[in-house]
């Protein structure tokens, strides 16, 4: 499988900050979720498509590594890499300062596909998703 | 209609704070939502009951008044008053320091009932809700 | 005083949604805060400048009006209008669908300037802020 | 070092939910932060004490494992275990359904102490913190 890579830009907002005046550590999960949705939109298989296919991708594991703090107004770039789609959807992320390229944060998420009705785990991707990845 | 009053206690968490080391102003909407759900649970007509009755209560207006800042670890009490249920669900809130009684925040929410299928506004409450209020 | 108007564009993210699959009502305070910070940046008097001037603008009141729900991926535009800076900073907001112009949400915030050291309320704006507004 | 274990109880709030009507995955970082602050309060070395000692404990890594979804109103218990304080503060967490004991979520956080002024990493704990742990 080819490793799809996408980029997502964002800016640190005031409401993301904690009393140390840096991004509160939990908010990075928002940044990488936004980047993941953006990747899926670029591939052409979105949350809406998943719903239509009666499937969902709940997060199973997540590894987070905080390298440097991020500050108010800082422009960040999330580089996402689609590592695998079967047996599970694995995406890795690096967040960098948009200007300097300095690394801020790294993460890796694993999501396991389920049948939305039965809640059963599925270890293969929907053929539409695979086709969209192939076409990308 | 009798004015039902309920109390809900909470403690300010670290993740609620902003760079000024006080509760970020938007988080008060979480505090009063928790208090509102607690009131509805005490009355006996919850979010689950609304869903079963194919109805929902989206927020239509909200007035917020910030009186004093709240700090990490501070224990707060939300006093909620059910002002009306028809034609709209109106609840008012006062948040006080649990110990000193000092006022921190006041708010008033208006929610308009809708039919979940048609999304049409409904200006009467479901009879089950009215009955539960009567019995309270 | 001239009424400064600015526009801020955003996209509804998955993490903004509630179980009704619409933006959770409290998240609009994030949208208008981002728009407000954007306006202050355009004027040239930011959170950093306030800190350097030993001043802050805590929110005193906020009126919110929810007109229509917003959905996943929807592109929204926040139109902000600086209504006054003295005796208090008043900004009004209209959030519209970026494409159709349909109104989604309206709000008005009042912030009262304080001296960061004494926490005393100040009913005049810092001259730097006034100058920046004049120059805008 | 003795392994301190503490328990923290919480209830899933409406604002914690996502469109799947389960707790949004990022909100577990709030639950374990609340549990961590509760542990530190029980030990007697809080965020305030850290500030007074000119030190802080930013999160360096976090491993998250999602086992089962959690639902509106569900009562959860976070069991936290202090694994080590030197060279880094490591805490592990298990979140269970309070009634059934069913496992919902597991995590492990590593925080590295810094000098708040120089931002330099410190691989030993403050003696006050060690003393409080000993006394616990």
A92-116 pLDDT, tens digit per residue, is 999 999 999 999 999 999 999 999 9
Instruction: Report residue A73's pLDDT band, with 50, 70 and 90 as the boundaries.
Output: very high
Instruction: Report residue B1's pLDDT band, with 50, 70 and 90 as the boundaries.
Output: low
At what angle are helices B28-43 and B127-135 packed, to 10 degrees?
Answer: 80
Q: Over range B86-104, report the average pLDDT.
A: 98
Tens digit of each residue's pLDDT (9 = 90 or more) over D94-124: 999 999 999 999 999 999 999 999 999 999 9
Q: Over range B36-41, report the average pLDDT.
A: 98
Structural tokens at position A49: 């498509």
Taking CB atoms and an 8 Å limit, are A15 and B26 in contact across chains? yes
Instruction: Report residue D3's pLDDT band, with 50, 70 and 90 as the boundaries.
Output: confident
- Please report residues of A whose CB lies closer than 8 A to that of C41: 73
Q: Over range A62-91, report the average pLDDT.
A: 98
pLDDT at C3: 86
Taking CB atoms and an 8 Å limit, are D30 and B13 in contact across chains? yes
Looking at the predicted structure, is the pLDDT value of residue B42 above 70? yes
Structural tokens at position C121: 């309320």
* Chain C residues interacting with chain A (CB cutoff of 8 angstroms): 13-15, 29-30, 33-34, 37, 41, 46-48, 72-73
Looking at the predicted structure, is the pLDDT value of residue A89 above 70? yes
Q: How far is A25 from chain D (nearest CA, A)?
A: 7
Rounded to two decimals, the ipTM of the complex is: 0.95
- Please report residues of B whose CB lies closer than 8 A to that of D14: 33-34, 37, 47
Burial class (CB in 10 A: 0-12, 13-18, 19+), B11: middle
DSSP A123: S
Beta bridge partners of residue D111, listed in sequence order: D59, D89
Q: How far is B22 from chain C (nearest CA, A)?
A: 10
The rounded mean pLDDT for chain B is: 97
Tens digit of each residue's pLDDT (9 = 90 or more) over C68-82: 999 999 999 999 999
Q: Over range D29-54, report the average pLDDT.
A: 97
Residue D49 CA to residue A124 CA, distance in Å, equals 51
Tens digit of each residue's pLDDT (9 = 90 or more) over D56-101: 999 999 999 999 999 999 999 999 999 999 999 999 999 999 999 9
Nearest CA in chain A to B71: A19
pLDDT at A123: 97
Looking at the predicted structure, is the pLDDT value of residue A1 above 70? no
pLDDT at B118: 96
Q: Residue by residue, what is the 3-state secondary structure of C23-81? A: ECHHHHHHHHHHHHHHHHHHHCCCHHHHHHCCEECCEEEEEEEECCCCCCCCEEEEEEE
The residue among B12, B42, B46 whose CA lies nearest residue B28 is B12
pLDDT at C1: 65
User: Does pTM surpass 0.95?
Assistant: yes
The label of the residue with tokens 């306030």 reads C50
Contacts B–D by Cβ distance under 8 A: 36
- Please report residues of C whose CB lies closer than 8 A to that of D72: 19
Positions in chain C whose pLDDT score sits under 70:
1
Taking CB atoms and an 8 Å limit, are C15 and D21 in contact across chains? no
Beta bridge partners of residue B59, listed in sequence order: B111
Tens digit of each residue's pLDDT (9 = 90 or more) over B110-132: 999 999 999 999 999 999 999 99
**All chains having 3 or more CB pairs closer than 8 angstroms to chain B:** A, C, D
Taking CB atoms and an 8 Å limit, are D63 and A61 in contact across chains? yes
Instruction: Report residue B3's pLDDT band, with 50, 70 and 90 as the boundaries.
Output: confident
DSSP letters along chain D, please?
A: ----EEEEEEE--GGGB-TTSSB-GGGHHHHHHHHHHHHHHHHT--HHHHHHTTEE--EEEEEEEE-S---TT-EEEEEEEEEE-SSSEEEEEEEEETTT--EEEEEEEEE-EEETTT--EESS--HHHHHHHHH-
């Amino acid at each position: 499988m080819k490793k799809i890579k996408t980029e997502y830009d964002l800016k640190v907002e005031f409401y993301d900050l904690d009393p140390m005046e840096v991004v509160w550590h939990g908010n990075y999960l928002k940044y990488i979720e936004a980047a993941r949705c953006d990747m899926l939109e670029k591939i052409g298989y979105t949350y809406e498509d998943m719903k239509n296919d009666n499937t969902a991708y709940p997060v199973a594991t997540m590894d987070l590594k905080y390298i440097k703090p991020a500050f108010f107004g800082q422009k960040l770039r999330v580089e996402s890499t689609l590592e695998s789609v079967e047996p599970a959807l694995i995406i890795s992320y690096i967040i960098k300062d948009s200007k300097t390229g300095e690394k801020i944060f790294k993460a890796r998420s694993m999501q396991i596909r389920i049948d939305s009705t039965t809640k059963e785990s599925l270890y293969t991707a929907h053929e539409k998703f695979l086709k969209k990845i192939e076409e990308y």
